[in-house]
Amino acid sequence: QVQLKESGGGLVQAGGSLRLSCTASGLSLVDYAMGWFRQGPGKEREGVSCISWSGGITHYGDSVKGRFTISRDNTKNTLYLQMNSLKPEDTANYFCAAVERMQFRAGYCPAKEYNIWGQGTQVTVSS
């Protein structure tokens, strides 16, 4: 059974840090490009950051550039998102997603093109 499972969310004060993980089962992440997406209350799902299958190409949304870092360890079948200098507006449910690696588009993270999704992990940033 193909599954992506996020972990690492929680409640943090503004300025704090969290590290999200996304562990895959039933598929080998080396065959997939990956992304982190988020959906806040009353908002559409947005691309936070995406990474090519090798990790050599990354993209960040403007709102998280310089604060978030995406990485992956294909030997552990795991994707990460290091989030620093968190702001209340980062509060959202964070999802990881996968797309076949040849479908990866450098330069942006189109949620509609990612077709394997996790259940999400909630991140809440208090002011």
Average pLDDT taken over every residue of the chain: 96
- Least confident range from 42-46, 62-66, 104-108: namely 104-108
Q: Is the pLDDT at 27 greater than 90, yes or no?
A: yes
Mind listing the pLDDT tens digit for each residue in 54-93?
A: 999 999 999 999 999 999 999 999 999 999 999 999 999 9
Measured CA to CA, the distance from residue 73 to residue 12 in angstroms comes to: 25
Nearest Cα neighbor of 31 from 123, 115, 126 is 115
Tokens of 13: 């004060």
| Whether the Cβ atoms of residue 76 and residue 110 lie closer than 8 Å to each other | no
